[in-house]
Amino acid sequence: MLFILGSLFSICTFAGIYKCTDINGKTDYQSKPCDPERKTVQINIKTGSSTELDQEKQKQDLAKKEQDESLEQEQTLKKHAQLKQDALSESAKNQFLIKNNPEKFSAFSIPPYDLDQLPDLIKNYQTRLPDIERLRRQAAEKALASNQCIRVEASELDGKSTKRSFVFSVSCSSGKSFYFTEQELTR
């Protein structure tokens, strides 16, 4: 009998006691955690210490939120860095084409964009900057392929562009101008 009583006492000791207080200030003590709408304090019978579980949960929630925000910020920075790298790669292709074909392209026909200092029109579409750089090159090449353009002077994103469809304008040394939609260039 003594053994059974000792066992029950040790189980209660390890289980802890919960002090539950409702919004009216009524307090109950119980061996299981309180309902979520009640303030919960866990009392350690061995040490006499107590832990306010609601505050612990708030601390844990706050720590998780801060961790999530930190991860989100890190992912945003990674995406920005990748976007910048992709745009620089496309710009390098444009500059290589211009440098190796000076008779077909003026030196400033496809000036590179800097992701950190974009013109207002391009800022609206900055998440697609690598596409813009690639499509500017394709628009210039398509104008040259028409045989109505001897030399490209400028290939730019046009103000008629929308998020659904870009429009590119190409100006030639012959005075001829071309307008190409994104769909025409990606066919």
Using pLDDT thresholds of 50, 70 and 90, give the confidence band for residue 56. confident
**Helices and strands: H and E segment counts in the chain:** 5, 7
| Domain coordinates in residue numbering, the chain | 89-186
Q: Please tell me the predicted confidence (pLDDT) of residue 53.
A: 66
Higher pLDDT, 46 or 122: 122
Cβ(162)–Cβ(147) under 8 Å? no
Per-residue confidence (pLDDT) for residue 63, from 0 to 100: 85
CA distance 143 to 78: 36
Predicted confidence (pLDDT) at residue 124 exceeds the cutoff of 60: yes
Greatest Cα pair distance in the chain: 109
For the cut 60, the answer to whether the pLDDT of residue 9 exceeds it is no
The predicted pLDDT at position 99 comes to 96
Q: pTM to 2 decimals?
A: 0.65
What pLDDT is stored for residue 126 in this prediction?
92
The answer to whether 144 and 156 have CB atoms below 8 angstroms apart is no
Question: How far is 91 from 132, CA to CA, in rounded Å?
Answer: 10
- pLDDT for 109 beyond 70: yes
pLDDT digits (tens, 9 = 90+) for 36-46: 888 878 877 77
pLDDT band at residue 4 under the 50/70/90 scheme: low
pLDDT at 148: 95
**pLDDT at 174 > cutoff 70:** yes
